Amino acid sequence: MQFELTEDQAMLSDAARRLATETLWPILQREPADRPLSKPVMLDIYRHLAEFGITAARLPEEFGGSGLSMLDYGLVMEQLPAAVALSLLSHDGSTVRFNAGADEAVRAAYLDDFRSGRKIICTANSEPGAGSDSNTIATRLEIEGDRAFLTGTKMWITNASICDCMVVSCSAGRDDRGRPVPQRVLVDLSQSTVGLQETPLAGLRQGHLCEVTFDRTEVPLSHLIGTAGDAGKHMTIVWNANRPLIGLMALAVARRAYEAALTHVMERRQFGDVLASRQLVQQDLSDMEAALTSARLTCLMALATLDTGARSNGLSAMAKRLATENANRVIHTAMQLCGGMGITEELGLAQLWADARVFQVPDGTQGILALIHGRDITGVAAWR
């Protein structure tokens, strides 16, 4: 068991920190903080991410990807601005889903653009009536001769408003138990017409969340990915990695709040001395540091477990739930320590709380994550 970074890992983490500090944050700071970044800006960001080699971080090297270990990927992701990291998570995970089962000719036509960041891809899975329960997906795929059509609505889709392509989860029919048979379909927005409507958020407001509507949207038959029924397996493979990565993103946001609070209590004087000299303030700081450290180690352990090839459904779910919960608690405490400054826009802690709160929703809400973990503990599924 090794808790110290290797020399290569330290260099990778430092390089990612420099990318964020010297390139990505200045781009974000030039843009309005309260609205989604434009597609030209996002493509500029993806150009830098591609030069760093992480637009296809999880894609095996045999397909031209970076082939990063999940642990190393986590060390990179925790350094990136949160809105950028969440967008990249969608793009990279969708590239993996696309690659797993795409027709060879279709792969040849698109994969290089996804790897290079010239085109942005996302996954459209959740619906108004189907979030955690994927067995209620209603978006349907109809095949008529040599033509295929999609009809349905997707909700809360990261990257949809700035993407070029989507991997859409749909139903290719019903099995003998009446459940939808999941199918993946690649939708190229330059070839197919879809409805897009941005969803305003309280946090991560420079990011992109969208409602997507398909009204008998025509797609080529060659754009069906994999085989009917395999979509759930590939969703789970990506989710198991996404969850601890999202946990690290939330903790990075909370770390900024912790550092702001630490600076404040070291400078703010009350009752004849700095706040940092008070026992309860020191206890709060200790609790915050412990919450950040323990959750981060849990996320890194989940990623390292994935690197061994072990099944990690419960561990990954636990890691995200712990990390996002701790992140929100740390920011709440930071706001308390900063008193009046804690509720001002000047210090920005309220926005950090809103940003961190967003991470409790993607790829599993707190309750669903607890049930996934509980299923691993007991061997009994709570919902079926």
Give the model's pLDDT for residue 98: 95
Domain ranges of the chain: 7-116, 121-228, 232-378
Interstrand relation of 147-158 and 209-220 (parallel, antiparallel or unpaired): antiparallel
pLDDT band, residue 178 (cuts 50/70/90): confident
Mean pLDDT of 372-379: 91
What's the pLDDT at 384? 63
What is the overall mean pLDDT for the chain?
93
Angle at 22 between CA 160 and CA 119, to 5 degrees: 25
Q: What is the 3-state secondary structure (H, E, C) of the chain?
A: CCCCCCHHHHHHHHHHHHHHHHHHHHHHHHCCCCCCCCHHHHHHHHHHHHHHCCCCCCCCHHHCCCCCCHHHHHHHHCCCCHHHHHHHHHHHHHHHHHHCCCCHHHHHHHHHHHHHCCCCEEEECCECCECCCHHHCCCEEEEECCEEEEEEEEEEEECHHHCCEEEEEEEEEECCCCCEEEEEEEEECCCCCCEEEECCCCCCCCCCEEEEEEEEEEEEHHHEECCCCCHHHHHHHHHHHHHHHHHHHHHHHHHHHHHHHHHHHHHCEECCEEHHHCHHHHHHHHHHHHHHHHHHHHHHHHHHHHHCCCCCHHHHHHHHHHHHHHHHHHHHHHHHHCHHHHHCCCCCHHHHHHHHHHCCCCCCCHHHHHHHHHHHHHCCCCCC
The pLDDT confidence band at residue 172, using thresholds 50, 70 and 90, is: confident
Residue 300 · residue 72 · CB < 8 Å: no
pLDDT tens for residues 80-132?
999 999 999 999 999 999 999 899 999 999 999 999 999 999 999 999 987 77
Checking if the pLDDT of 231 tops 70, the result is no
The dihedral over CA atoms of 367, 369, 372, 378, expressed in degrees to the nearest 10, equals -70
pLDDT tens-digit series, residues 152-170 = 999 999 999 999 999 999 9
CATH number of 7-116: 1.10.540.10
pLDDT one-digit tens code per residue, 8-38: 999 999 999 999 999 999 999 999 999 999 9
Choose the weakest-confidence range: 191-205, 218-232, 295-309, 334-348.
218-232
Predicted local confidence at residue 197, as pLDDT: 95
Q: Which CATH number fits domain 232-378: 3.30.300.130, 3.30.1360.180, 3.30.1330.30, 1.20.140.10?
A: 1.20.140.10
- What's the alpha-carbon Rg for the chain, to the nearest Å? 21
Mean pLDDT, residues 267-288: 93
- Regarding the domain delimited by 121-228, which CATH topology (the fold level of the hierarchy) does it fall under? Butyryl-CoA Dehydrogenase, subunit A; domain 2 (2.40.110)
